[in-house]
Amino acid sequence: MLWRKFNGDPIKLKIKDAVEQVIQRESAAGFHLKVCIGTDSQVKGKETEFATVIVFLRQGRGGFMFIHNEKSSLSYSIKERMLVEVAKSIEIAYELCDLFTYYDVDMEVHADINTNPQFKSNEALREAMGYILGMGFAFKAKPEAFASSSCANKMVN
């Protein structure tokens, strides 16, 4: 999996090693971190592009993120696409969760799913919430899910 910084610089380390380096560096600088992981997608013709982000928030001091993009030629219903987004976020959250536990970093998984039943993405809300909470992760949906609905969204547009 290829990850990059917001400025486009590639992350050469394995993502787990890069995240651990960030946690150590930010802690040494006196920052208390919170991490939010989210994925968004955009259908472009016959392809669906996914962007997964790891957002590092420095309490009261801004933040930064790591980004991973991938494309799929599979065709998804809206519900399937929402659940694939959640699965991509959970995959990276699961890979990193022992680091967050070890360093006492709060982590949330953000789903780009609307809590308003009038929106199509709402069809996937119950399953997504069950999936994320069932894995033991904190969960946020729109409008609080900024990692997916704002940060990742900007990386697929």
| Selection from 113, 156, 146 nearest residue 36 by Cα | 146
Scanning the structure block, which residue is given the tokens 């001091």?
A: 61
Pairing of strands 33-44, 106-114: parallel
pLDDT tens per residue across span 92-151: 999 999 999 999 999 999 999 988 889 888 889 999 999 999 999 999 999 999 999 999
| CA nearest neighbour of 67 among 17, 113, 15, 117 | 15
Q: What is the pTM of this model?
A: 0.94
Q: Where are the domains of the chain?
A: 3-156
Grouping H, G, I as helix, E, B as strand and the rest as coil, residue 138 is strand
